[in-house]
Structure 1
Amino acid sequence: MSFISRTFVCSVLAVASVFAAWDGTAVLPKSVMEEGKEIYEITTPEELIGFRQMVDTTYSFINVRLKNDIVFGKDTLSLSEIPWIQNDLTHYQTYMESFDGQGHTIYGLKSDLPLFINVGTRGGVIKNLNIAHCEIGSDTVKVMGGLMVSHSGGVLENVEVRNCRIFSQGTTGGVAGFHSYNNSYASEMHHVRSVNNRISGSNKVGGVVGYAYAPLTNAFNSSEIVVDDSLVCSGFNAITYVGGIVGDYTPYESDDPSYTLDSVVNEGNITVKSCGNVDVGGIVGESYRSIVSGKNAGKISVEGNYHFATVGGIVGYMNKSWKTGFTAWNQGSKELYNFGSVKATSVDSVRVGGIVGDSRSGAFMGALNFGDVEGVSTAEFGVNYVGGVLGYVYNLDENALAYQVGNRGNVRSESNSDHYVGGVAGALVANGSYVMDLTYLQQAFNYGDVLAVSESAGDRYSRFEIGGIVGFDNFIKIQDMYNRGNVSVQIPERQYQYSGGLAGKAYYTNVEMNYGYNAGKVDGKLVGGLIACLNTIGGTKHLYQDTLVHDVELYSVIFENASNEVSELTGLHKSYTEYMQSDDFVSLLNTRDGSVEDQKIWTRRGDYPVFFFDTLMVYAPEQNPDDNPGVDPVDPGEDPVEAPLGIAQKYEPQKMDSKILLYSAGSKIQVLKKNGATERIYSILGRQIQKR
Structure 2
Amino acid sequence: MRIETDGYVVGLIEKDLVMGKDTLHLAKNKMSVDTSGRCTNLYLNGQGHTIYGLNMSRAMFYCVENLVENLTIANSRFENDEGLSAAGVAVHLKDNACVRNVKIRNSVVKSEDIAAGLVAYNDGAMLNDTNENSLVSSTNIAGGLAGSLRYVIINSRNSGRVSGRVAGGIVGSGDKLGTDGGTITGCSNNGMILGNGSGSVSVGGIAGYAHRTSFNGLKNTGLIEGKSTSGTLTVGGIVGRLDTTQNVVDCGNWGRVHALSGKKVYAGGIVGLYYGELQMVGETLSRVSWLVTSYNYGPVTVKASEDFAYAGGLAGYITGSLISADYNRGTVKNEGSSKNRYTGSLAALADWCSVAGNYSYVDTLTGSHTASLVYEFAGANNSMYRSYYGGVEVPPVGKYSDDPSNIYQKDSLVSLGFEEMKEALQIYDGGNWVRTDCMAQAKTDTNTVCTVKVIADFFGDSDKPYEVTFLEEEGKTFVAPKVKTPHLKVVVSARNISVWGLAPSRPVQVFDMQGILVTAANSQGAAVNLMVSKAGVYIVRHGNESRRVAIR
Same fold (TM over 0.5): yes
- Partner SS, residue 252 of structure 1: coil
- Report the Cα offset of residue 354 of structure 1: 0.3
| Contact 2:422/2:440, CA 8 A, preserved across alignment | no
Hey, what's the Cα distance between the residues in 2 that align with 1:335 and 1:618?
A: 18
Q: Aligned to 1:617, which of 447, 465, 483?
A: 447
How do 1:672-683 and structure 2 match up within 5 A?
none
Question: Within the alignment, does 1:411 sit opposite 2:241 as a pair?
Answer: no
- Partner SS, residue 226 of structure 2: strand
- Report the Cα offset of residue 214 of structure 1: 1.3
Q: Aligned to 1:345, which of 255, 260, 269?
A: 260
Hey, what's the Cα distance between the residues in 1 that align with 2:270 and 2:422?
A: 32
Instruction: Tell me the residue number matched to 2:364.
Output: 450
Instruction: Tell me the residue number matched to 2:484.
Output: none
Question: Within the alignment, does 1:370 sit opposite 2:297 as a pair?
Answer: yes
- Partner SS, residue 128 of structure 1: strand
The one-letter code sitting in structure 1 at the alignment partner of 2:20 is: G
Hey, what's the Cα distance between the residues in 2 that align with 1:309 and 1:389?
A: 16
Instruction: Tell me the residue number matched to 1:246.
Output: 171
- Partner SS, residue 186 of structure 2: strand
| Contact 1:465/1:472, CA 8 A, preserved across alignment | no
| Contact 2:87/2:117, CA 8 A, preserved across alignment | yes
The one-letter code sitting in structure 1 at the alignment partner of 2:41 is: Y
Instruction: Tell me the residue number matched to 1:472.
Output: 376
CA-to-partner distance for each residue in 1:390-428, whole Å, 9 max, x for gaps? Answer: 110122xxxx31121111111100142212101111111
Hey, what's the Cα distance between the residues in 1 that align with 2:295 and 2:26?
A: 42
Larger mean Cα displacement after TM superposition, 135-144 or 444-453? 444-453
- Report the Cα offset of residue 440 of structure 1: 1.3
CA-to-partner distance for each residue in 1:480-532, whole Å, 9 max, x for gaps? Answer: 22222225xxxxxxxxxxxx3312223325587xxxxxxxxxxxxxxxxxxxx
- Report the Cα offset of residue 94 of structure 1: 2.5
| Contact 1:601/1:611, CA 8 A, preserved across alignment | no
Tell me: CA distance 1:84–1:600, structure 2 relative to 1, closer, same or farther (3 Å): closer
Instruction: Tell me the residue number matched to 1:210.
Output: 147
Instruction: Tell me the residue number matched to 2:501.
Output: none
The one-letter code sitting in structure 1 at the alignment partner of 2:359 is: F
- Report the Cα offset of residue 308 of structure 1: 0.7
- Partner SS, residue 326 of structure 2: strand
Question: Within the alignment, does 1:117 sit opposite 2:117 as a pair?
Answer: no
**TM-score (norm: length of structure 1):** 0.59
Instruction: Tell me the residue number matched to 1:321.
Output: 245
The one-letter code sitting in structure 1 at the alignment partner of 2:141 is: K
Instruction: Tell me the residue number matched to 1:225.
Output: 162
Q: Aligned to 2:12, which of 56, 65, 69?
A: 65
Hey, what's the Cα distance between the residues in 2 that align with 1:271 and 1:222?
A: 13
Instruction: Tell me the residue number matched to 1:145.
Output: 87
The one-letter code sitting in structure 2 at the alignment partner of 1:63 is: V
- Partner SS, residue 118 of structure 1: strand
CA RMSD of aligned residues (A): 3.4
Tell me: CA distance 1:213–1:612, structure 2 relative to 1, closer, same or farther (3 Å): closer
| Contact 2:267/2:310, CA 8 A, preserved across alignment | yes
Q: Aligned to 1:629, which of 512, 515, 527?
A: 512
Instruction: Tell me the residue number matched to 2:398.
Output: 504
| Contact 2:433/2:442, CA 8 A, preserved across alignment | no
| Contact 2:388/2:413, CA 8 A, preserved across alignment | no
Structure holding more strand per residue: 2
Tell me: CA distance 1:600–1:77, structure 2 relative to 1, closer, same or farther (3 Å): closer
Tell me: CA distance 1:445–1:125, structure 2 relative to 1, closer, same or farther (3 Å): same
Instruction: Tell me the residue number matched to 1:689.
Output: none
- Report the Cα offset of residue 360 of structure 1: 1.0
Q: Aligned to 2:207, which of 284, 302, 316?
A: 284
Q: Aligned to 1:263, which of 180, 183, 186?
A: 186
Instruction: Tell me the residue number matched to 2:230.
Output: 306
| Contact 1:307/1:346, CA 8 A, preserved across alignment | no
- Report the Cα offset of residue 612 of structure 1: 5.6
**TM-score (norm: length of structure 2):** 0.73
How do 1:424-573 and structure 2 match up within 5 A?
424-430=346-352, 440-453=354-367, 464-474=368-378, 475=380, 476-486=382-392, 500-509=394-403, 538-545=408-415
- Report the Cα offset of residue 351 of structure 1: 0.4
Instruction: Tell me the residue number matched to 1:99.
Output: 44
Hey, what's the Cα distance between the residues in 1 that align with 2:272 and 2:436?
A: 32
Structure with larger RCO (C-alpha < 8 A, sep 6+): 2
CA-to-partner distance for each residue in 1:626-660, whole Å, 9 max, x for gaps? Answer: 954399x99xxxxxxxxxxxxxxxxxxxxxxxxxx
Which structure has the larger Rg over C-alpha atoms? 1
- Partner SS, residue 286 of structure 1: strand
- Report the Cα offset of residue 93 of structure 1: 4.0
Q: Aligned to 1:390, which of 296, 315, 319?
A: 315
Hey, what's the Cα distance between the residues in 2 that align with 1:62 and 1:484?
A: 62
Hey, what's the Cα distance between the residues in 1 that align with 2:214 and 2:328?
A: 20
Hey, what's the Cα distance between the residues in 2 that align with 1:196 and 1:221?
A: 8
- Report the Cα offset of residue 465 of structure 1: 2.4
Hey, what's the Cα distance between the residues in 1 that align with 2:312 and 2:347?
A: 4
- Partner SS, residue 79 of structure 1: coil
Tell me: CA distance 1:82–1:586, structure 2 relative to 1, closer, same or farther (3 Å): closer
